[in-house]
Amino acid sequence: MVNRKFTIEQLGFKKKPLCELLGNIPAEHFTFWRGKWLFVSTKADEDFNEYHFPIADFFNSPAATVDRLAHLSEKDWFDPKDFCAMIHRFRKATDSYGAL
């Protein structure tokens, strides 16, 4: 089995998500900043992150998604409701409706 890393462009989203902090730059990371989950650009992430990981890594494979969610669930500060709210915004930003 080959463990291939994808870029966010290779993941096949209909639209590129824009950074929720800077607005006009594509987002590349999910970040936990000031008690809220956001999708942000690397430029914003350098200044604003408390905890972050690349969006492409999260969606790289089903196993990667499961492993990241399990890892996050072990954190006492993790709020799954807020994380899912970010995923809903990300879904809208990438036009990922109807993929099921």
Domain boundaries, the chain: 55-95
Mean pLDDT of all residues in 78-83: 96
CA 15/CA 60 separation, integer angstroms: 17
Residue 49 has pLDDT above 70, yes or no: no
CA 10/CA 8 separation, integer angstroms: 5
**pTM to 2 decimal places:** 0.85
- For residue 1, the model assigns a pLDDT of 47
Residue 99 has pLDDT above 80, yes or no: no
Residue 47 has pLDDT above 50, yes or no: yes
Q: What is the DSSP letter of 71?
A: H
Residue 74 has pLDDT above 60, yes or no: yes
Mean pLDDT of all residues in 67-96: 95
